[in-house]
Amino acid sequence: MSQNILSEAFIYDGGRSPFGRHAGALSSVRPDDLLAHVIKAVVNRNSFKAEDFEDVVMGNTNGAGEDCRNVARFALLEAGMPHTTAGITVNRLCGSGLAATLDAARGVKVGEGDLFLAGGVESMSRAPIVMSKAHSAFDRGQTIADSTLGARFTNPAYSNVFGDDTMPQTADNIAQDLGISREDSDVFAAGSQSKYEAARAEGFFSGEIIPIEVPQGRKKPPSVIDADEHPRPASSVKVLSGLRSLFDGGVVTAGNASGINDGAAALIIGNRAIGEKCGVRPRARIIAGGVAGVEPRVMGLGPVFAIKKALARANLNLGDMDIIEINEAFAAQVLGCLKMLEVDFKDTRVNPNGGAIAVGHPLGASGARIALSTVRQLERTGGRYAAISLCIGIGQGVAAIIERLD
């Protein structure tokens, strides 16, 4: 009986939109338009033919408004890709962008396509208000929910067992369980802002951001958005320490948590043969990935177990990593992960250019943004290996191990 040999999966290129604030510069842009813009730019600047792409795999969390019914397929068609190219939308909540990336890599590895697009999109500004259907004629008890963030229409059977902690409450749970202080959280958040600002000042992010024109009405020219809108470089520890915690006795504040944002990102992932055929050199190898589940009340610890799985599959350990990226849903959550991974809070390998506390967290796009920025940081520093990860609502984590190529 013959044994199939798995292919290797490589990252060839990638790009992202600027990340906008909630109700900010990108709030007038539909999520499918935002994703289509990024897809078109990334595909057009490379030598691959559009018809070479097997599938477009995109993460998206909300799916309740203009991003409904498979935003990946809508966006690829709007980007001018051939109708013969397939598209699928992946929802692993905050980890959707990285989950989509791993799905594409898996397709390459098992030989079900030579070339894929992967990434994600979220327009949290345009997330609609949703209403349940009536249970009976003339029923006046319909539920109305904001679909921007968090669960809605949760089944009581779930809540009765696992509770109904909001995302910030899960971070406070971690802080209480693991002894993470408010000061620890504010110091980490201030560090995220300052690291982002240092990288921005050096022009790092301009190498990955794809500018977008946003109409301003009939009497004004379009506004070119070419920079992230969420960072607050003046957020010092002193400033952050003056903010009120969201819950009594908790450590989470608006300043040490990620933002509510709009953005899109896309990566080109393929095997070595397609790159050789088209004369494009791969930039990084996706060695391994992993997902894991944890208690929903401490959902932010999911990266710990996902990273350990991915490292084991890559036959590497945390000491081999030149970069450790843990998405900054909340400072307390990242610090909890570091504590459980036995990584010092001041380890310079951790989120070297800041994270979601500064740049923002458009849920479906963040995983691909992290993968892209990490590849570029490895290229910038000459590092070889990186572990990248995100926590996920309802208690999960997703991680990948990537290797920079010479």
Q: Is 68 assigned a catalytic role?
A: no
8 Å CB contact between 286 and 378: no
Taking the C-alpha atoms of residue 161 and residue 308, their distance in angstroms, rounded to an integer, is: 27
Amino acid at 6: L
8 Å CB contact between 55 and 116: yes
Take residue 125 and report the two structure tokens written for it: 């500004």
Take residue 308 and report the two structure tokens written for it: 């350990």
State the catalytic residue, choosing from 22, 37, 94, 337: 94
Taking the C-alpha atoms of residue 33 and residue 78, their distance in angstroms, rounded to an integer, is: 7
8 Å CB contact between 390 and 122: no
State the catalytic residue, choosing from 22, 37, 230, 361: 361
8 Å CB contact between 404 and 384: yes
Residue found under tokens 């009594």: 248
List, in order, residues 6 or more apart from 158 with CB less than 8 Å away: none
Take residue 12 and report the two structure tokens written for it: 């060839």
Measure Cα distances from 398 to 95, 103, 330, 393 in Å.
Answer: 6, 12, 16, 11
Residue 225, classed as helix, strand or coil, is strand
Q: How far apart are the first and last CA of the chain?
A: 36
Q: Is 278 assigned a catalytic role?
A: no
Take residue 246 and report the two structure tokens written for it: 């969201």
State the catalytic residue, choosing from 22, 37, 337, 391: 391
Degrees, nearest 5: CA angle 211-77-85: 115
Q: Is 391 assigned a catalytic role?
A: yes
| Catalytic machinery residues | 94, 361, 391
